């Protein structure tokens, strides 16, 4: 932790991100730090094959957020979307539980064709980013097949079936990552972590958004060996998730929703935890992990920027 990282345009930052909260945060980071000095490592555990197409929701949320195409209100997919293709699918008795908009479908067609032609996911993602004018480097955590599965009292489900089709209503007993043993970091991931002056874990669900990234063994090992600060941003405000099942999962799997419970998801991996003002009185049990209290709700562009500034500035002298 000896290097003094400065919050200035050329700070090399690696951000681990998944989910809607991750994409919003990444947008704030890129607004504050230079896009070219930021590398985002994205979750692929919730990738899904639908209607013969490969969908990478978390990579796409980041691509759309950084290209200004995201539907801000919904949090996923594209703005000004139309749904004609999906309606046709439904009318023909096809699979329409996973809502793919017409514009979004175009991206999945291009990605799927490239993957079928043998291109790795990282190469396709880089090309998509370039075509969308995204200057930030976006890497999938792995090019290998890695899929999140949930064990619940109602059975075991692949991520999107649990999250979307079942509305994440089932409590989760365990999270598993199919393919984790064989998964290697995508090209550039280890280099990005080794070259970073600051590593950030976005305010994403620790179990199903950051967990699959950390399930890539060499990637996790690189974080354990880091010589620069690693700062996580808690996804909870007052012990509650802004959206999604993170609070219920923490309660059931970690035994509580305090900052210490969030930090406990990242053993040996973080040096500081950014928490909301609403959690400022609940900082016991963090041990060596430095709490940084601020407002974490990313309700506007300014709020996103302010949170990113706090996280980027969280480097001890
Ligand atoms: N989330 C939903 O709640 N319902 C959907 O039908 C849905 C479709 C969808 C299509 C493309 C895409 O990139 C994301 C989509 N999401 C949908 C969001 C996605 O399930 C989650 O945001 C992430 O997987 C959680 O990280």
Query: Domain locations in the chain?
Result: 14-312
Residue 97: per-residue pLDDT? 97
User: Which residues partner with 38 through β-bridges?
Assistant: 13
- DSSP structure string for 48-107: EEETTEEE-HHHHHHHHHHHT-B-TTTSSSBTT---HHHHHHHHTT---SS---HHHHHH
Tell me how far the alpha carbon of residue 6 lies from the centroid of ligand 1, in angstroms: 36
Tokens at 272, concatenated: 């500081």
Tokens at 141, concatenated: 């955590």
Exposure letters 182-210 (e unless 16+ CB within 10 A, then b): ebebbebbbebbeebbbbbbbbbbbbbbb
pLDDT tens-place string over residues 187-233: 999 999 999 999 999 999 999 999 999 999 999 999 999 999 999 99
> If DSSP codes are grouped into helix, strand and coil, which group holds residue 145?
coil
Nearest CA to ligand 1 atom 25: 19
Whole-angstrom Cα Rg for the chain: 19
Tokens at 65, concatenated: 């957020």
CA distance 103 to 100: 8
CA distance 129 to 59: 10
Residue from 181, 146, 113 nearest 41 by CA: 146
Report the chain's mean pLDDT, rounded to a whole number.
95
Which of 29-43, 53-67, 204-218, 248-262 shows the lowest per-residue confidence on average (mean pLDDT)?
29-43
Supply the pTM of this predicted model: 0.96
What average pLDDT score do residues 34-55 get?
A: 95
Q: How far apart are the first and last CA of the chain?
A: 9
Residue from 190, 189, 162 nearest 176 by CA: 162
23 has pLDDT over 50: yes
What average pLDDT score do residues 17-21 get?
A: 96
Residue 10's pLDDT band, with cuts at 50, 70 and 90, is: confident
Using CB distances shorter than 6 Å, the residues near ligand 1 are 18-20, 46, 55, 57-58, 60, 76-77, 98-100, 104, 160, 163-164, 209
CATH number of 14-312: 3.40.50.10680
Q: Ligand 1: which of 67, 99, 141, 148 to mutate, most ligand atoms within 8 Å of CB? A: 99
């Amino acid at each position: 932790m000896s290097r003094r990282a400065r919050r200035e345009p050329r700070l090399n930052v690696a951000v681990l991100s998944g989910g809607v909260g991750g994409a919003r945060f990444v947008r704030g980071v890129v607004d504050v730090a230079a896009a070219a000095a930021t590398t985002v490592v994205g979750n692929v555990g919730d990738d899904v094959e639908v209607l013969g197409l490969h969908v990478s929701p978390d990579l796409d949320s980041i691509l759309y957020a950084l290209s200004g195409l995201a539907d801000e209100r919904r949090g996923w997919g594209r703005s000004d979307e139309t749904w004609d293709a999906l309606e046709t699918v439904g009318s023909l008795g096809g699979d329409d539980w996973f809502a793919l908009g017409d514009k979004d479908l175009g991206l999945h067609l291009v990605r799927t064709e490239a993957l079928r032609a043998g291109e790795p996911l990282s190469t396709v993602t880089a090309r998509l980013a370039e075509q969308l004018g995204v200057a930030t480097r976006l890497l999938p955590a792995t090019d290998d097949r890695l899929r999140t599965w949930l064990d619940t009292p109602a059975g075991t489900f692949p991520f999107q079936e649990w999250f979307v089709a079942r509305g994440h209503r089932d409590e989760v007993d365990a999270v598993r990552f199919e393919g984790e043993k064989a998964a290697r970091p995508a090209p550039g991931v280890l280099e990005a972590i080794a070259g970073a002056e600051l590593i950030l874990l976005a305010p994403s669900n620790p179990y199903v958004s950051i967990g699959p990234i950390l399930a890539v063994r060499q990637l996790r090992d690189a974080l354990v060996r880091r010589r620069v600060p690693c700062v996580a941003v808690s996804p909870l405000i007052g012990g509650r998730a802004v959206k999604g099942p993170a609070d219920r999962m923490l309660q059931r799997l970690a035994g509580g929703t305090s900052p210490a419970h969030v930090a406990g998801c990242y053993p040996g991996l973080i040096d500081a935890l950014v928490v909301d003002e609403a959690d400022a009185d609940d900082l016991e049990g963090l041990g060596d992990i430095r709490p940084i209290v601020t407002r974490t709700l990313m309700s506007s562009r300014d709020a996103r920027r302010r949170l990113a500034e706090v996280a980027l500035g969280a480097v001890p002298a």
